[in-house]
Structure 1
Amino acid sequence: MIKWQEDWAYNKYWVMAHSQACYEQIRLLAKDNMWSEQKETEFEHLLAQAASQAPTTKTLTNAYQHVWGYFKKICTPQEKQTYLLLLQKLTPQDDELGPFLSGLTNKYQVTYLLNSRLMQEAQAQS
């Protein structure tokens, strides 16, 4: 994988959790798989812009629902019930869902998520 693709994979869900607008702009930058110095500069700018925005309940919910997609067919019924409960009470100030999903990432060894900034930061919270 090319470095910018690795950087995007690492940051993808983290950006989504901070800013849907930045996520969409980066997704458009990466769309044609043609990368340039100009796109790299814009990518770095959008990462910084996302970092300046605190996650909201809406952006966290969206990002975590995407992450959940990796588990919904392999988790236990109890894990699904816990996910739904934690999703329902999720707020940026009371985020038990991130650490829960990080635990599932480790349990099921989902490589893409193991290398995800959002899951790594959630693991650090727990």
Structure 2
Amino acid sequence: MKRRGMIEKLWTEEKYKVMMHSQKHYNLIREELKKDISIETLEILINDAFKITPESGSVINTADHMWGYFKKVCTAAEKNEYMRLKEAYKKEEVPAEKMLAFIRKSADKYEVDYLQKSTVLHK
């Protein structure tokens, strides 16, 4: 695989996990990807992001971004379940993993390859 392809593959896999940990790093990496970034530099920036503990707001923001893939195709029951899980997470009644597991299930059901490759949805 060529260098650019390796960089794109890594970013596809880690994009939402980075977003969850640090919006600042997410934005920085997006800017760096417009330049001639090396895979090593990208790995360093990604690992730096993972050192930051996700905040509730960033978890919700990331989940909402991923949920956007389904909002036009999901059933009313699925939408209600996502909203229920999101509210329960906000109230600290369920862990983020419950919400992410539901998104993973939806990615599999609707065959959203891009999300299926995302490490944030793998436990």
Sort the TM-score into its range (normalised by shorter chain): 0.7 to 0.9
- How far the C-alpha of 1:117 sits from its partner, in A, is 0.9
C-alpha RMSD of the superposition: 1.7
Q: Determine the C-alpha separation between the residues in 1 that align with 2:26 and 2:89.
A: 21
Change (3 A) 1:101 1:111: same
- How far the C-alpha of 1:74 sits from its partner, in A, is 0.6
Higher mean Cα deviation, 47-56 or 76-85? 47-56
1:25 to 1, 6, 28: 28
Change (3 A) 1:35 1:41: same
Structure 1 unaligned residues grouped into runs of 5+: none
SS at 1:11 equivalent: helix
Q: Determine the C-alpha separation between the residues in 1 that align with 2:62 and 2:41.
A: 22
TM-score by length of 2: 0.86
Number of residue pairs matched by the alignment: 117
Structure 2 unaligned residues grouped into runs of 5+: none
Identical aligned pairs, as a percentage?
32
SS at 2:52 equivalent: coil
- Matched residue, 2:17: 14
Asked if 1 retains the 8 angstrom alpha-carbon contact of 2:18 and 2:25, the reply is yes
Q: Determine the C-alpha separation between the residues in 1 that align with 2:88 and 2:21.
A: 18
Large movers: runs of 4+ above 6 Å: none
Q: Determine the C-alpha separation between the residues in 1 that align with 2:110 and 2:25.
A: 29
Higher mean Cα deviation, 110-119 or 84-93? 84-93
Higher mean Cα deviation, 82-91 or 66-75? 82-91
SS at 1:90 equivalent: helix
